[in-house]
A = this chain, B = another copy of it.
Amino acid sequence: MLYRAGEAFTHLHVLNSGFFKMISVSADGREQVVGLKFRGDWLGFDAIAGASHACDAVAMDTAEVWSLRYDELLQACARRPELLGLMHEAMSHEIVRDRDTLMSICTLPADARVVAFLQHWAQALSVRGLRADQFSLRLTRAEIGNYLGLTLETVSRVLSRLARASLIAFNEKSRRDICIPDLQALESFVQGRVSLNLH
C-alpha cells in the first residue's frame, strides 16, 4: 500500500512499473474501487485539496514508484515549466478518464460495462507498448463488479458468456488471465448490442 486515506499529504508519485488500484471508503463504510493506475500515471492528486489522502493506493503487483515531495516539485516546476505542463496534463487526463467510467456505468447494461472494462484495460496496455491481446486482470470478480457497479456473479456470468461466444478466452491455468483474439469484435459488441443468448 503506497498510501492510505487520511494520511497527511506530502508526496505525489509517478508509477514507473506495476499496477495500482485506488480504493475509497465512505463515512458509512461502503468500499469502492474508484480507479486503476498504469505505468506513467500519477498518484496522489486527490490529496492536494484536503491536505490528506482521500483514498488508498494499493499495488496489484510488484511496482516501482517515483515519489516526489510536492513542495520540491513545485519549485522544480518554477525552473522547468514543461514539468508543470506534464503534471497538469496528468491531472486533466485523470478527470477525463473518471468521467468516461462514470458514463459507462450510467449508460451501459452489465455486459457492455464488462466489455468496456476489458477494452479500457487493453487500451491502457496497448498505449504503453505492452501486449493487449493477452493479459492478467489482477482483480477478483468481486473487485471488477465493485468497480462497475455490479455483483461478482454478474461479472462471472458475462465473462463466461463472452468466452462461450469466443470473444475472449481464458488461460487454462488461471481464469484471471484472459485472451482477446479480436478487440474489434468486442468493440462492435458494445456498439451493436449483439445478443449473446446462445446458451
Write the nearest CB–CB distance from A169 to chain B, whole angstroms: 26
The interface size bin for chain A is 35 or more
- Which applies to chain A's interface (DSSP): helix, strand, loop or mixed? helix
- B194, A103: Cβ atoms closer than 8 Å: no
Quickly give the copy total for this chain.
2
Q: Is A149 an interface residue (CB 8 A)?
A: yes
Write the nearest CB–CB distance from A114 to chain B, whole angstroms: 14
Separation of A92 and B34 alpha carbons in the complex (Å):
15
Sampled A-B contacts (6; CB under 8 Å):
A29-B198, A30-B108, A32-B103, A48-B89, A48-B92, A105-B105
Report A86-98 CB contacts with B as 1/0, cut-off 8 Å.
0011111111101
Closest to A33 in B: B106
Report A147-163 CB contacts with B as 1/0, cut-off 8 Å.
11100000000000000
Give A47-105 interface residues, CB cut-off 8 Å to B: 47-50, 54-55, 74, 78, 81, 84, 88-96, 98-103, 105
